[in-house]
Amino acid sequence: MPVDSSLEKTADSARPHRAPAGQGIVPLLVVGGLFAAVLAAALLALAGDPVDPGVVNAYGPTVIRVTAEIGCVLTVGSLLFAAFLAPPQQSGTLAVSGYAAMRMASWAAALWFVSALVSVPFAAAAAIGRPVTSVLDTRTLINLIDLLPEAKAWLFTAAVAVVITVGARIVLSWGWTVVLFLFAMLGVIPVAVTGHSSNRQHDLASNSLLLHLIAAALWVGGLVAVLAHGKRTGSHLPLAVSRFSKLALVCWLTMASSGVINALIRVPLDSLFTTSYGVLVIGKVCALTMLGLIGYLQRERSVRDLRAGGSGNLLFRLGALEVLIMLATFGLAAALARTPPPAVFAEPDPVELRIGYVLSGPPTLARLLFDWRVDLVYGVIVGALAAFYVLGVRRLRARGDKWPIGRTVSWLAGCFVILMATSSGFGRYAPAMFSIHMETHMMLSMLAPVLLVLGGPVTLALRALPPAGKDGPPGPREWLLAAVHSPVARALTHPVVALVLFVGSFYVLYTSGLFDAAVEEHWAHVAMNTHFLLVGCLFYWPVIGVDPTPRQLPHLARLGMVFASLPFHAFFGVILMSMQTVIGEQFYRGLGLPWTADLLSDQRLGGGIAWATGELPLLLVLVALLIQWSRADEREARRTDRRADADGDGDLKAYNAMLRQLADGDRP
């Protein structure tokens, strides 16, 4: 795609902001990165890491890990800056600052790609306890990759990074920048769910580390991008900085809470000062406290100074100090990731080893309803969904606007169903028993979406969020509108696409062997839950959603979608009930749960659940749809009556005139 050369010369907005240049960012990153790598290696040497002989094997993985993490956060942060911190041009093309950030994203992703690729043989060598040179021949490496989740995770990360390296070079439009940003976030996931996270309580450990790493990437990478490209935004600098400042606060809180949860899983409080692992954790708490204090100064002084038209000098100076501390903390983190946690906990039993926690007995109704174990990822998502909705309703009420209570109830009930499916006893037993897994699947894909789309969240957001104004830089309201009207949303809400995704994924997941491959992985359960929820929302949004969809379907077509899906659901339930092989047998048998000795019966029960609980919500949808249809007819009739009153039955007169004309034409 050709690039307008004027982009290189002018700032985003005509009135440039008097901010100092950010050219020092590359030396700062090089010095900080080297320091982080040396610190990590030195800490490991002090801790007496006995894993591998030789310098390369002993320190190579850690140095490469630090490099990969720095590449990752710089990529994500630069894309964040281009997508959401620096406003694009009116035409939708990136402005100068966004374009510069994309260049940086491409370079950072190249670094991320190379270090992720190099991490593959290191991960393989570490897993079998041999020097890295012994796994370098292609056949051995391929065999090991096939066996080792960590090596696979790095390979996946490398694939994501290479796409970003190329994509960030060619993308110039705002919409594609957002797509690349979301795609880059995928690269954070594999590292978070492997390594130390795969030991005891691995569900909580993986989820908290995932939140920790996402927050680190947005915060550290976002700050570097603001320092590097902020001045190019010209008079938009205060806006970019104030947006980042709000995000930084959320990231700080997320890092603190997720870091503490993660640490407590691995090291008991009384071992904090007596073990290498504990001391490193204390080091990180100190770093986060320092960063919190500097962040406070930034909010109180630099951001205010910028808003008042100041030079921004303080922001850039304090920012540089923050980046150095953050990079040093990355060194600490990498050393922490390679230091064995103290061996003070009892060996986990087979169930705990495989699903992360113990089950206290068969799933009685009381246990399913009241034996909660919070899913950190969905707990955070549901909390945020409910809180934003209630804030939106309050904002409307505060300015005297009405919002139907039924919609609020429906939305909150949808959030509650998600929480039940992921964090109550249902969520606890779902990874261990096929029947309960199927129950949560139905809750997430059939019940929660129906309730959520009846809440009308997009309509609420569009009414509650302030518009940017004619020439103002686009904000959350405009981003939401762009997402709803995007070609991706249009394609996904096409009735055929939505229907195929909705019913097709049942068959693909359970009859293709995919479920067998995924059932053992915690991340796969999170991914499955996300998939069920999203395809459910995609299906029900055009059918009964309160929000207008990119394609407005007539009521008859909506009814057709529901009827078309009914037999597929029923048939799927029947297939499960009549199957003679057990899906995910190896995994379920490995758990050895005494109350599911007969796995085929449990699977048949799952089939029955899929049939019964799947059809019920569809019947509810049919009723809701018919009510909506009749209300739409009534509204149309009322509109016609009003028009008739206003123009003195104009339509009727025109119709009579036409009949008269026809009659005159028939007369000889």
Q: How many helices (H) and strands (E) does the chain have?
A: 31, 0
Least gap, CB of 329 to ligand HEM (angstroms): 4
Question: Please, which residues have CB within 8 angstroms of residue 596's CB and are 6 or more apart in sequence?
Answer: 432, 433, 588, 602
The residue nearest ligand HEM at its CB is 259
d(CA 619, CA 215): 42
Residue 336 interacts with ligand HEM (CB under 6 A): yes or no: yes
Answer for which of 287, 318, 351, 579 binds ligand HEM (CB under 6 A) is 287
User: Which of residues 262 and 603 has its CB atom nearest to ligand HEM in the complex?
Assistant: 262
Least gap, CB of 295 to ligand HEM (angstroms): 11
User: Which of residues 184 and 336 has its CB atom nearest to ligand HEM in the complex?
Assistant: 336
Place of tokens 């997508």: 83
Answer for which of 127, 155, 159, 260 binds ligand HEM (CB under 6 A) is 260
User: Which of residues 109 and 153 has its CB atom nearest to ligand HEM in the complex?
Assistant: 153
Residue 458, phi then psi, degrees to nearest 5: -70, -45
Least gap, CB of 333 to ligand HEM (angstroms): 3
Instruction: Annotate each residue in 349-388 with x if it binds ligand HEM (CB under 6 A) or - if it does not, as one string.
Output: ----------------------------------------
CB 245 within 8 A of CB 256: no
**Among the residue ranges 280-288, 359-367, 491-499, 598-606, the one whose residues contact ligand HEM (CB under 6 A):** 280-288
**Among the residue ranges 124-132, 209-217, 460-468, 515-523, the one whose residues contact ligand HEM (CB under 6 A):** 209-217
Two tokens, residue 358: 């113990």
Residue 285 interacts with ligand HEM (CB under 6 A): yes or no: yes
Tell which residue, 351, 572, 625, has the closest CA to residue 441. 572
Least gap, CB of 245 to ligand HEM (angstroms): 16
Residue 76 interacts with ligand HEM (CB under 6 A): yes or no: no
Measuring CA to CA, how many Å separate 468 from each of 236, 269, 465, 476? 14, 49, 9, 9
Burial call 589-626: b when 16+ CB within 10 Å, e when fewer: eebebeebeebeebbbbbbbbbbebbbebbeebbebbe
Residue 288 interacts with ligand HEM (CB under 6 A): yes or no: yes
Tell whether the torsion through CA atoms of 506, 510, 516 and 519 is positive or negative.
positive
Site for ligand HEM in 178-207 (CB under 6 A): 195-196
User: Which of residues 285 and 321 has its CB atom nearest to ligand HEM in the complex?
Assistant: 285
CB 24 within 8 A of CB 30: no
Residue 141 interacts with ligand HEM (CB under 6 A): yes or no: no
d(CA 544, CA 547): 9
**Among the residue ranges 29-37, 296-304, 325-333, 613-621, the one whose residues contact ligand HEM (CB under 6 A):** 325-333
Tell whether the torsion through CA atoms of 413, 418, 419 and 423 is positive or negative.
positive
Answer for which of 63, 80, 116, 281 binds ligand HEM (CB under 6 A) is 281
Type of residue numbered 280 = L
**Among the residue ranges 255-263, 378-386, 513-521, 535-543, the one whose residues contact ligand HEM (CB under 6 A):** 255-263
Instruction: Annotate each residue in 212-231 with x if it binds ligand HEM (CB under 6 A) or - if it does not, as one string.
Output: xx--x---x-----------
Residue 48, Cβ density class (10 Å: 0-12 exposed, 13-18 middle, ≥19 buried): exposed
Task: Please write down the HEC assignment for all residues of 401-422.
Answer: CCCCHHHHHHHHHHHHHHHHHH
C-alpha count within 13 angstroms, C-beta hemisphere, residue 213: 28
User: Which of residues 36 and 610 has its CB atom nearest to ligand HEM in the complex?
Assistant: 36
The number of residues that bind ligand HEM (CB under 6 A) is 28
d(CA 354, CA 356): 6
Answer for which of 110, 337, 535, 537 binds ligand HEM (CB under 6 A) is 337
Per CB under 6 A, residues contacting ligand HEM are 65, 69, 195-196, 209, 212-213, 216, 220, 255-256, 259-260, 262-263, 281, 284-285, 287-288, 291, 326, 329-330, 333-334, 336-337
